[in-house]
Every structure is written in structure tokens, then in C-alpha cells.
Amino acid sequence: MIERQKRQDSETMTGADRTLFYTPEEAEDKQLTVRDQDVRISNAYAVTLILPSIAEAKGLRFHISVDSATAAVTLTDFGGSSYHDSINWEGDFTLDAAEDTITLESDGRTWHIVEEEIAG
């Protein structure tokens, strides 16, 4: 019931409500929710962003962008290093330069890369 309510809330939110401006104050792991569909990061600390459960995010797009960076942002799927929630998870993504972006979409089983601009 709680997960269904979160999903309903997400579907009725405006674009501005779905934007998370995130500036970590220490190295940490940050679990994203279905509400965090547009994440903009300015970071001075290494941080790992964990996508929401693949099933919970079905049909949703998540756009992650780095506004400024002096440390790496690692993007991983739900479950982290212990197991991968997504079938065919391509591996973690590292965004470590200003203007790095990635957009992913869930089909309920797999995260699909819609757009990727990662300096490398």
C-alpha cells in the first residue's frame, strides 16, 4: 500500500517537484526514490546514488546530472554490490566531471539508457 501511494504521488507531481538538488556534505550513499526523477548534483565528496527498485520505477525516467564536481558520483542499481535488481545491469556509472549526465528508464525489469553524456 505504501509503495502504491508513493507511485501515485510521483505520477501527480509536477516537473519541479521531481527535481532533487543535492549537495552532499560528506562521502555517503544516497537512496533515490521514485520522486527523485531529476537529480542535479554539486559535490565535493564522493557519493553513490542508488536507483529505486526497478519494479517500483516501472515506466519512469531518471535524469542525473552533475553541475560541478571535485569528486566522483557513482550511480548503481538497487541492491548495490550485493546483487543487481535490474536484469542485464551494465555496471555502475561514474560521473566525475561537470556537465556529466545520464538518463535511464525502467521497464520493470531492466534499466535502459536513454541518453548518456559522460566524459571519459
| Helix then strand then coil, % of the chain, to nearest 5 | 10, 40, 50
- The total number of residues shown for the chain amounts to 120
Q: What pLDDT is attached to residue 88?
A: 83
Query: What per-residue confidence (pLDDT) applies to 76?
Result: 93
Q: Give me the pLDDT at residue 93, please.
A: 94
Q: What is the pLDDT of residue 1?
A: 39
CA distance 95 to 102: 9
pLDDT < 50 regions, the chain: 1-15
* pTM for the predicted model, two decimal places: 0.80
Ranges of H-type helices in the chain: 2-12
Q: Starting at the edge strand that comes first in sequence, how are the strands of the sheet with 19-22 ordered?
A: 19-22, 38-43, 61-69, 101-106, 111-117
Residue-wise pLDDT tens digits, 20-49: 787 788 899 999 999 999 999 988 889 999
Q: What's the pLDDT at 5?
A: 44
pLDDT computed for residue 80 by the predictor: 62
- The pLDDT value recorded for residue 25 is 84
What are the domain boundaries of the chain? Answer: 2-117
Taking the C-alpha atoms of residue 47 and residue 64, their distance in angstroms, rounded to an integer, is 13
Predicted pLDDT at 94: 94
What pLDDT is attached to residue 10?
A: 45
